[in-house]
Amino acid sequence: MGRKLELVSVKEGSICPDIYHPAVARDGLLTRLRIPGGVLNGIQCVAVAELLETIGLEYIQVTNRANLQLRALSRDLDSELLVKLADCGLAESNSTIDGIRNIMLSPTAGIDESELIDVRSLAEAWHQYLTDRPELGALSNKFSVGFDGGGSVSIIDRPNDITLLARFSKGEATPTTDEFSLHLAIGDRGDAPVDVGVRLSWAECLPMLAAIAHSYLRGIELFGGDSRRKPRLREIIRHWGLMEFGEIVQREFKGSSRFVFKNLGLESELRADICTHLGVYRQRQVDRYYLGVVLPLGRWTRSQIRGLGSVADRYGSGMIRLTPWQNIIIPDVAESNLAQVQELIADLGLIQTANHPSSLLRACAGNSGCQFAATDTQGDAIALIEYLDSKLTLDRSINIHFSGCEKSCAQHDRADIALWGCPETDRDSSSYRLCVSGGTDKFGRLISDNLKAADVPMAIEHLITTYHHHRTSPTESFRAFTDRFQGSGVRDEG
């Protein structure tokens, strides 16, 4: 263990910090542990708990990229801690690669009963490709790749730069599943990637990712490669045009396929409900189940990390999977152990159902941690969880999103109910704009444009109660319910 690993601090406002390069936030230093594929083993769980104890933090947060995020650090991590993290796979030994956005795959990859292809080894191959090529450290830290095996817990709507989606091949007597569609981010910030009409065999996936990455690097050079704020892939594509970018990629591509990039749109039916993975589900493996567990606002405490790590070691395969919806999954539990595992999870104070208020909420850092936020989103979200838990019984999941400003960092896609901080109010009388799904605005259809934070719990209770009383049936979703009012009825009821 004679390696020397150095942490280099960056200035306030830096984007996408990593374990070697923290950012300065309002509440202290901010850094992230990059967890490729979102999979943690038992040794890593112990290392995370010990890290929190060493630096004096009670919890770490799972992010919407299935990373682990540390906030409010009072000092840089020293080189000894960095070596320990690298030795157990929680930091890249190549610090130039560590900052590239986490590789995302479905948290149920390889265990989903309805999955077409197990994409885990493909994700591992891409991770190794990045690790072996230090020159790819020049990629933007926001360069992101996702792998979707076509199962029931999909990530196709997550805002990755590139997603490879498993699909049945067509035009053959016996359809096979050794085919992927290529999806690229060409829309606005936070939009899901779209199908660009390219079909790839398994063997062609890695060469395609490499070709896009190297083509992207050429584009970064045109924009000025030394800039701290590197252009996103979608900006490079807009600069060249989708078809011309495809021609550049074709010249870099080391596969046999000939292709033309064109916008075919997105398979909307594959968009995942954020609570689909919560609860108990049968795996494709015989007599094995996985359990989806809620981490309120993504917060995972030291005692819960140790406790769940112990549960996974004793009753599962020793693995814990992080999800891009800021929760966790414990896989590979035998049916005979399900009741015991559920009891142990409950003893840690954690919920396992999709209709509990803590499973419904997403919130950004808020004004305690971010200079752009107008409201205390974390505190207001926790207050709402406690209030709804004491007042309502929910029979369907309803996604509620708190955003301190219009950037919508915690959740890029539209929520059923959104509250975003009004920038013109002062911190002593913080208020929100309240929106519901529908309309053309980014956050949805406006219901109230100046709702005081203290009044949020009762307002949300009234919205949900109105939904319960006036929906056409128990199966009607909140989104379908609000769509029926077309802008006036919900305001009157609220």
The CA distances from residue 157 to 152, 162, 184, 403, 412, in Å, are 13, 11, 11, 20, 10
485 token code pair: 């009012």
Going through 131-240 in order, the beta strands assigned E by DSSP cover 145-148, 162-167, 179-184, 194-200
476 token code pair: 């009607």
CB-based burial label for 271 (10 Å; 0-12, 13-18, 19+): middle
415 token code pair: 């929520």
Inter-residue contact 377 to 363 (CB < 8 Å): yes
Q: Give the amino acid at 191.
A: D
Coil/strand/helix, residue 236: helix
**CA 105 – CA 120 distance, rounded (Å):** 8
Confidence at residue 292, expressed as pLDDT on a 0 to 100 scale: 96
**pTM surpassing 0.85?**
yes
CA-based diameter of the chain, in Å?
A: 68
Confidence at residue 463, expressed as pLDDT on a 0 to 100 scale: 94
Q: Which of 433, 461, 430, 438 is nearest to 448 (CA)?
A: 433
Q: Which of 83, 63, 65, 62 is nearest to 19 (CA)?
A: 83
Confidence at residue 106, expressed as pLDDT on a 0 to 100 scale: 93
Residue 97, beta-bridge partner list: none
What length does the chain have?
A: 494
CA angle 192, 112, 90 (to 5 degrees): 70
Inter-residue contact 408 to 373 (CB < 8 Å): no
Q: Which of 355, 364, 432, 435 is nearest to 392 (CA)?
A: 355
Inter-residue contact 426 to 418 (CB < 8 Å): no
The CA distances from residue 37 to 13, 102, 125, 375, 464, in Å, are 27, 7, 11, 32, 35
pLDDT tens for each residue of the chain, 494 residues long: 333 333 333 333 345 788 888 888 888 899 999 898 999 999 999 999 999 999 999 999 999 999 999 999 988 888 889 889 989 989 887 777 777 778 999 999 999 999 999 999 999 999 999 988 888 888 888 899 999 999 999 999 899 999 999 987 655 544 456 799 999 999 888 888 999 999 999 999 999 999 999 999 988 887 765 556 788 899 999 989 999 999 999 999 998 889 999 998 755 444 555 667 899 999 999 999 999 999 999 999 999 999 999 999 999 999 999 999 999 999 999 999 999 999 999 999 999 988 899 998 999 999 999 988 999 999 999 999 999 999 998 888 899 999 999 888 888 888 899 999 987 655 456 899 999 987 667 778 889 989 999 999 999 999 999 999 999 999 898 988 988 876 444 444 43
Confidence at residue 258, expressed as pLDDT on a 0 to 100 scale: 92
Residue 199, beta-bridge partner list: 181
Handedness of CA 366, 368, 370, 372 (dihedral sign): positive
Q: Which of 103, 100, 98, 96 is nearest to 66 (CA)?
A: 103
Confidence at residue 264, expressed as pLDDT on a 0 to 100 scale: 87
